[in-house]
Amino acid sequence: MSTLIEEEIEVRKGPWTTEEDTLLTRYIGRHGVGPWNMLAKCAGLKRSGKSCRLRWLNYLNPDIKRGNLTLQEQQLILQLHSLWGNRWSKIAEHLPGRTDNEIKNYWRTRVQNKQPSSSSLKEMSSQFSVPCQLPECIVPSGSVINISQQIEFPQHETSPNAYAHTCVDNNNLVLNGSYNIGRSGQDMEAFRLASMSAVGEGCWICNEMTDSLWQCRELGEMGN
DNA sequence: AACAGCTACAACCGCAGACTT
DNA sequence: CAAGTCTGCGGTTGTAGCTGT
């Protein structure tokens, strides 16, 4: 009979091998998902239940979608993150086949790391208004997008008057200032969502822009 | 070709809440 | 009701692969 310490030493960590993947997949295929600690032992894996759960949910589960996030998914993540913050599991519930880990990684590597520099922040804080020039948008050159829609806010008590008007010039998306920015975070949120809607399905608004808007909101809150 | 820096992603850790004894 | 255990979540880290020099 092994001691507790010896058992702890036996627990494997690090990257999973194909043999381990096979064992876990086969066991769940036969018996389904159960208590993870028990499952790990019964499957013959020298892994913690936690590790098995993570491996299954984030990698081995056949329901998981592979490949890059679609533009719609990226847009949805931004919208949901603006509503719920870092509630990754909650956000993942609205993206079938995507895991909270994947969404979290996406956010950290491709959104959060592209925060505007402090100098650009200062510049923005001095203006704190539209229009603002936006780099690297993939809207076809020459397109014109007009929106004048009222944004619905699922969780906000009121619907602020958020209107954005956009046009595209030489691949740069420009927001024309028909949005009346208040100093509340909610107004900034409205502008943010309006801008995202402006780009529409199949198009994508650049990360720099949404982050910049987010910073604008924070600046607005700081100013209060 | 070799190296450094960067990016994306898998995996671990700590914590909190739920559940069980 | 308290203590122990399990589960799930969010933050963080390690590293393989890619890219630029």
A176 and A95 co-located in one domain: no
From residues 42-71 of A, which are strand C contacts by CB within 7 A? Answer: 49-50, 53
For strand B, which nucleotides have at least one atom less than 7 Å from a protein CB?
7-14
User: Which CATH number does the domain housing residue A43 bear?
Assistant: 1.10.10.60
Residue A57, pLDDT above cutoff 80? yes
Least confident of A5-14, A114-123, A140-149, A210-219: A140-149
Residue A190, pLDDT above cutoff 50? no
A55 and A146 co-located in one domain: no
Q: What is the pLDDT of residue A168?
A: 30
A144-146, strands of its sheet edge to edge: A133-134, A172-176, A165-169, A144-146
Least confident of A15-19, A33-37, A111-115, A152-156: A152-156
Q: What is the pLDDT of residue A85?
A: 87
Nucleotide closest to A108 measured between CA and C1': B8
Residue A223, pLDDT above cutoff 70? no
A182 and A85 co-located in one domain: no
The H or E element spanning position A123 is helix A118-127
Q: How far is the CA of A10 from the C1' of B12 (A)?
A: 16
A82 and A137 co-located in one domain: no
Instruction: Establish whether the CB of A98 is closer than 7 Å to any nucleic acid atom in strand C.
Output: no
- Chain mean pLDDT for chain A: 60
A153 and A212 co-located in one domain: yes
Once rounded to an integer, what is the mean pLDDT over residues A140-155?
Answer: 31
Residue A66 domain-assigned? no
Residue A129 Rama label (left phi>0; alpha psi -120 to 50; beta)? beta
Between residues A127 and A33, which one has the greater pLDDT? Answer: A33
Q: What is the dihedral of CA A146, A159, A95, A84, to 10 degrees?
A: 130
A197 and A134 co-located in one domain: yes
A106 and A192 co-located in one domain: no
Give the up-direction half-sphere exposure of residue A67: CA atoms within 13 A in the CB hemisphere: 5
Q: Which residue is nearest to nucleotide C16 (CA to C1')?
A: A15
Instruction: Establish whether the CB of A101 is closer than 7 Å to any nucleic acid atom in strand B.
Output: yes
A120 and A219 co-located in one domain: yes
Give tens-digit pLDDT for A161-170.
332 333 333 3
Express the helix, strand and coil content of chain A in percent, nearest 5 each.
50, 5, 40
Residue A65 domain-assigned? no
Residue A134, pLDDT above cutoff 50? no
Between residues A104 and A182, which one has the greater pLDDT? Answer: A104
Between residues A115 and A47, which one has the greater pLDDT? Answer: A47
Residue A174 domain-assigned? yes
Range of the domain at A10: 4-60
Q: What's the CA gap between A20 and A167, in Å, rounded?
A: 53
Instruction: Establish whether the CB of A88 is closer than 7 Å to any nucleic acid atom in strand C.
Output: yes
Instruction: Establish whether the CB of A110 is closer than 7 Å to any nucleic acid atom in strand C.
Output: no
Counted domains in chain A: 3
Instruction: Establish whether the CB of A126 is closer than 7 Å to any nucleic acid atom in strand B.
Output: no
A123 and A145 co-located in one domain: yes
Give tens-digit pLDDT for A81-121.
888 888 899 899 999 889 999 999 898 888 876 654 444 43
Once rounded to an integer, what is the mean pLDDT over residues A32-56?
Answer: 90
Residue A178 domain-assigned? yes
Q: What is the pLDDT of residue A113?
A: 62
